[in-house]
Structure formats: structure tokens, C-alpha cells
Amino acid sequence: MVYSALRHAGLKAALYTSPHLVDLRERMIVNGSPIPRNALSEWTNRVRVAIEDCDASFFEATTAIAFADFAARGAEIAVIEVGLGGRLDATNVVAPLVSAVTNVSLEHTEYLGESLAEIAWEKAGIAKSETPFVIGESDPGLVANLREGATERGASVHVVPKGLLYAEPMTLAGSYQRRNAAIADAVLRQLPASVRPKPSEIRDGIASAYVPGRFDRRGKWLFDVAHNRSGVRALVDQIRNAELPRPIHALVGMVGDKDWETVLPLLRAEVDSLWLTVAPSMPPDRLPDISRMAVQTGLDMITEPEFDTALAEMFADAGTALVTGSFFTVGDALSRLPGFAPLG
């Protein structure tokens, strides 16, 4: 949403996000265009020695390539999504105009800490001295954690009031997106005057923002990358409100280390049938045991490890065919449907 508003303001804006759905180049966008294939190859070769010398992670390598690409393509401003946590994230080398935390959830505890307070502290690590720091989290205790961490770093803190939702027109569906839009609006209004969009440009930018795989309806297909408790709750709320054609069949592929024991019952209660499958692009060390998932939850579900078979069977007589559970699952589905992949 921030990126879209900056483009409506006439700026040559870059966008760095992760993970991607189908093509790595989705992560590195300048004015609507992904990094060209030859540029990705060239930058990879140019930084390969440095990557190997410092034993950089995949995300650290892609961050370096993205920043090099943005500079080479003359981006005037960039919207950079943190990969994991904040304090020690590769993206935290930038000197931002504004930093923001949308919310805090219990994820990646092996890296970020066992409690929400610890995770909030890590996220507050992107705050910088004498720089606006926007807090979108609504829980008072976590807001206090974020405020303390940002204040210690000398940032000027701006809290988006609890319950505030964006009221202007939007393409993106769901009350959680209206909350995200309120946060985006706050971020944009904290930018320096030289790059701050006008109110009309903010409205037009947020109204036209589109993100593939977020309650993404295409005919009777519905794609949503929800993969944790908060994401699936938001998806379930939107299913209830959207009056989708029935029956709703859901294809779910979750990596084995996610909170599937909580997530699957939430989703099963809102759909007419549910298939469990294994997405081909899932990392080998995180493959789910779908038979164990079905047994332990005790839910009425169909287990089909062959992804293409599950996709076809789930779609066959659905009024709405929902694909969800992870970026891997949604990405693998989009790549198999002609014209559905984000980059064609």
C-alpha cells in the first residue's frame, strides 16, 4: 500500500518483499517491473565471491542483490519488508526515512524468543535515532514493549490507535487489510515533505493496491497464504463475510513446523470439505506428515500427498476452491494454472 501510494505520487519506487510465490524476481520490483532475468544473473555473479566468503544466507544474498538492483535502476525511494525479526535482519543495514511494525505474532520462536515480548523487542530493533517509528500493534503490553525498544534507540514513536480502520475505498478485502491500510496511511504521513504523497495520492494508492495470494479471488478460485493462527483467523472471518458460493472446498498444505493443530480446526469449521496435501516446493526438512495431522486433529479431512491430484479433485465440484496454508502451496497452485502466476 505504501509502495502504491509512492508510485501515485510520481516517485520511482522500489519494493522488496519475501517470500515469493512462483518466481524469485517477484521480490525485487521497481515501478511495477521485476528485476530482469539477465540483471539477476549478473548481480548474482558479481556478489557470489562475497556471498561465499562471508557464508551469507539465501536471504542475505537476495537482499544484497535487491539493493544493488534498486540502485542500478535508479530507484528514488524503496519500501523494504523485513525478513525475520528486525534487529539482526539483513534489511536492517538501511537508514530508513520511517520504520514500522504492523503487529507481533508468535512465530520463528527458535530465532526471536519464546514470548511475544521478546519478539517485540527484536522487531523494535529496526527503530533508528531521530526517525519516526510507527506502531500498528493493538495489544497495550506489546505496544509498551515496542515503544520502550524504539525510545531507547532515540526514535520518535507514533502509535496507530487501537481499533482504527481505514475508511476510504480499497481493492484489498478484509477488515485486517483496513487495519493494514490505517498503518500504511500513518507511515506515509510520517515521510519527509520531499517524498510525502498528497492526501489524494495516498487515497488513490491504497485504493488500487493489490497483493497476489491475499484473499485473492479469481473466478471460483480463492488463494490465501494464511499459515499461522492470526492469518487463518483473518481468513475465516473474511470467508464468513464474503458470501462465497458453496460448497467451499479447501486445499491446505502446511509445513510441518507450523501450528497446524490450532489452524486446521479453525479452517475445517468454515469449509464444506478439506484436502490435506504436500506442496512440491516445500523444503525437505519441513515436509508435513499429513496422515499424522489428520489422526491427531481427529477432523473429517481427505489426505492426498500428490499435489496435482489433490488440486484437481478439490476443484472438481467446488463452488469456491480455496488454496491456502503456505506460500509454497499457493505458489505451486498458481504456477500450474495458466495465466495465474504473478509474473505470467
Tell me the C-alpha to C-alpha distance, in Å, between residue 205 and each of 104, 170, 177, 183, 199.
25, 9, 14, 14, 10
The secondary structure of the chain in percent helix, strand, coil, rounded to multiples of 5, reads: 45, 15, 40
pLDDT at 114: 77
Q: 64, 50 in Cβ contact below 8 A? A: yes
Q: 123, 86 in Cβ contact below 8 A? A: yes
Residue with cell 526514535: 155
Q: How many helices (H) and strands (E) does the chain have?
A: 13, 13
276, β-bridge pairs: 252, 303
Q: 321, 293 in Cβ contact below 8 A? A: no
pLDDT at 323: 98
- For residue range 46-94, what is the model confidence (pLDDT) as tens digits? 999 999 999 999 999 999 999 999 999 999 999 999 999 999 999 999 9
Q: Classify residue 75 by its DSSP letter.
A: -
Q: SS3 of 215, please?
A: coil
Reduced 3-state DSSP string for 312-336: HHHHHCCCEEEEECCHHHHHHHHHH
pLDDT at 95: 95
pLDDT at 344: 65
| Burial (Cβ within 10 Å: 0-12, 13-18, ≥19) of residue 337 | middle
Q: SS3 of 35, please?
A: coil
What stretches in the chain show pLDDT beneath 50?
none
**Sheet with 99-101, side-by-side order of all strands:** 99-101, 132-135, 156-159
